[in-house]
Structure 1
Amino acid sequence: MTPNVFGTSFGVCGLAQAWSTAHAVSGVPRWPADTLWIAAAGIWLATLIWYATNVLRAGRLRADVNDPVFAPFTALIVIVPMLLGIALGGHARAAGEIVFLTALVLTVAAGSWFSGQWIIADLQLAQWHPGYLLPTVAGGLIAAGGSAAFGYDTLAMVMFGYGAISWLVLGSIILVRLFTAPALPMALRPTIAIEMAPPVVAGNAWFLLNGGHIDAVAAGLAGYAALMALIQLRLIPVYRQVPFGPGWWAYSFSYAAAFTLAVNWLGAEQTPGRTAWITVLLAVLTLAVTALGIRTVQHLANASYLPHANSTSPPSTVGDLAKSP
């Protein structure tokens, strides 16, 4: 069992966030968002118990957090509760703040540790992949949006800088790797979808920071997000070659965040008929994530979801991962 299984709860959080944003922007019903947040919390907790049991039984906790392939995904263990804390804050502010701030501290601690580890580790360029954006870039930008939602304006700006500068540094390395190094192993190719996450997550956070207005920063982030979205179209034939598994959930949060940004723009522009457009966007996104969830359940039932299902440890190198089914 590998830590990218937490991508499932992360993806459901992305869908829930889209519904929550739509409720705030256009007044669509709130109950779908609440239902999805509860589902995301349940999936995260079940996955945490499943993963912790598996890892502790195999005695490979240290191996997972130092693994050049899977280590960045362990950050989702603390990033997902940040999103859950934001949602909880809409119903019980004090409880939501406690969950959010605790997860934020853990996210910053994890991101700092991973950054230091990557500095001293003997990593080769070919070992990098877009999942390395998760601990500090995704974590920092999500923390920025959550801080703004709770009214911590200065903290929100600090975390936006934390995430944005991390994106500038790590994003440059990863793009150089994608452009110049050999192609990612088949099982890691869905992580290229994560390249779309930074501009759209930053855009959503910026709308919370500036009060939902379109300004130069929002427009610039939208422009880069459009480029990343169009690149995804070119990559569809590549994605279709990847065997189904936990890696497919890499698509979910990134694409959900893009839909959320579109909802924010429709609201900020006061687009005529925006409720109808938002409803269409939510319907498409919900159907896609539901289809992904149904296929996941089917593969779990057939015991064909996890790679190396008969192994007590995950593949530890990019080469090993390339050989996994």
Structure 2
Amino acid sequence: MTSTVDSSPATWVDYTPPGLFASVMGIAGLGLAWRKAHEVIGVQQFIGEVILLLAAVVFAVVATLYGIKALRGSAQFKSDMVHPVRANFVPAATIGMLLLSTAVLPYSRIAGELLWILGTAGHLFLAIRIIRRWLGEPYEINTVNASWFIPVVGNIIVPISGMRLGYVETSWMLFSFGLVFWILLFTIVLYRKLFHDPIPAKLMPTVAILVAPPAIGFVSYMALNGGQIDALARILYYVALLLAVIVVSLFPKLVKIPFGLPWWAYTFPMDALAIASLIYASATGAPGVEMVASIALALATLINIWVGYKTLRAIQGGHVFVSE
């Protein structure tokens, strides 16, 4: 029997791009950075909470649209799930849930735990699904880009709320899984960039994702080890910091690239660096780190505002919900 769902004509909802979930990561990460800034340097508390509320609203809208797209079983959704680039942004939805669980936890343990369980289980499922495809299907090296970090390295985020909720072994397991794959994929991405065809211009913003694994890895590791600054904590933080310096030095070149949803890749890594720097400054009192945190927070805020504005303009102009 032929499915009536598959044969129905495509609508604008069927062109909801999974890359929109990266906006949830960027906005939620910014809200968590401002919340941490309230704890460490005393900025107004309401700033972070308002941003986190906005992240929840954006997630609800994007998840509803993408959920409708998935339920329709359209060809566009099926294409997303096997595409070498778009498939990597689908797990950004579950990362968004993990970040929102951290946002909600101070207000409701039940809601925070529910979001964490759904986000953790969903992300692990998607990560395993994508890794099985990597192992079972041939891939061209030129399809590799930094967005490949999202599905597997996203597991690093799990301990941030997981440890507070008491899921110690699950947090360690998925942190370890994500950390090892970060090292492996970093090598592959760098090899592809150095020795093969240039990354397509529209995907160049994804180089900023290189900053996220060590930065958010530091945040998660601090949750795992009880907030102790040890050798691994220092390695993760300083690798993130120096990668951020490299990425920021590329901004004059990167901002010349025509706007697209991959621009959201600029946001969450800078959010994560701001959070990591605030935690490092609070734990060590190291000179200059608080200033680094303030600069990272300011940059993260400006980048989120700019990319958000450009996204709204692109939606208004009919450039987002379209066939790629």
The TM-score bracket by the shorter chain reads 0.7 to 0.9
- Paired residue type of 2:243: M
- Structure 1 CA distance for aligned equivalents of residues 232 and 170 of structure 2: 19
Letter in 2 for 1:165: V
Percent identical among aligned pairs is: 28
1:233/1:95 Cα in 2 relative to 1: closer, same or farther (>3 Å)? closer
Match for 1:290 among 305, 315, 320?
305
Residue of structure 2 equivalent to 1:209: 224
How far residue 284 of structure 1 moved from its aligned partner, in angstroms, is: 4.0
CA RMSD in angstroms comes to: 2.3
Q: Structure 1 pair 38/131, CA: closer, same or farther in 2 (3 Å)?
A: same
Tell me: CA distance 1:22–1:233, structure 2 relative to 1, closer, same or farther (3 Å). closer
Deviates more, 1:55-64 or 1:142-151: 55-64
Measured in 1, the distance between the counterparts of 2:109 and 2:287 equals 33
1:239-277 CA-partner distances (Å, limit 9, x unpaired): 123111211101000111111111111111236898887
1:172 aligned onto 2:187: yes
Q: State the partner residue of 2:253.
A: 238
Structure 1 unmatched ranges of 5 or more: 315-325
**5+ residue gaps, structure 2:** 1-14
Compare relative contact order (CA 8 Å, sep 6+) and give the higher one, 1 or 2.
1
Tell me which of 58, 76, 82 is aligned to 1:43: 58
Task: Give the Cα separation in 1 of the matches to 2:27 and 2:75.
Answer: 29
Q: How far apart are residue 95 of structure 1 and its match? A: 1.9
Q: Secondary structure at the match of 1:182?
A: coil
Classify the secondary structure of the residue corresponding to 2:198.
coil
User: Which residue of 104, 115, 140 maps to 1:88?
Assistant: 104
Amino acid in the other structure paired with 2:204: R
Question: Aligned partners of 2:115 and 2:109: how far apart in 1?
Answer: 10
Deviates more, 1:124-133 or 1:207-216: 207-216
TM-score normalised by L of structure 1: 0.87
Please tell me whether the aligned partners of residues 86 and 97 of structure 1 are also in contact (alpha carbons under 8 angstroms): no
Tell me the amino acid that sits aligned with residue 144 of structure 1: P
Counterpart-to-counterpart distance in 1, 2:151 and 2:33: 22
Equivalent residues of 1:26, 1:274 under 8 A apart: no
Deviation of 1:132 (Å):
0.6
> What is the DSSP-based 3-state SS (H/G/I as helix, E as strand, rest coil) of the residue aligned with 2:199?
coil
1:207-264 deviation digits (Å, cap 9, x = unpaired):
2222323210111112211331122134224312311121110100011111111111
Aligned to 2:147: 131
* Structure 1 residue 109: Cα displacement: 0.8
**Corresponding residue for residue 250 of structure 1:** 265
Secondary structure in 2 aligned to 1:60? helix
- Per-residue deviation, 1:5: 1.6
The residue type equivalent to 2:272 in the other structure is: A
**Of 52, 73, 76, which aligns to 1:60?**
76
Residue type at the aligned position of 2:129: W
Q: How does 1:1-325 map to 2 (within 5 A)?
A: 1=15, 2-54=17-69, 56=72, 58-137=74-153, 139-270=154-285, 281-304=296-319, 306=320, 309=322, 311=323, 314=324
Shift of 1:27: 4.1
Q: Give the corresponding residue for 1:323.
A: none
For residue 293 of structure 1, report the CA deviation from its aligned partner.
1.5
Change (3 A) 1:255 1:278: closer
Distance 2:297 2:73 in 1: 41
Equivalence for 1:321: none
In the TM superposition, what whole-angstrom CA distance separates every residue of 1:268-320 from its partner, at most 9, and x where no partner exists?
1236898887566534432331222222222322224x28x3x3xx3xxxxxx
1:60 deviates by 2.4
> TM-score, normalising length from structure 2?
0.87
Q: Is the 8 A contact 2:22 2:265 kept in 1?
A: yes
- Could you say what secondary structure the match of 2:43 adopts? coil
Given that 1:13 and 1:80 are in contact with CA atoms closer than 8 Å, whether structure 2 keeps it comes out as yes
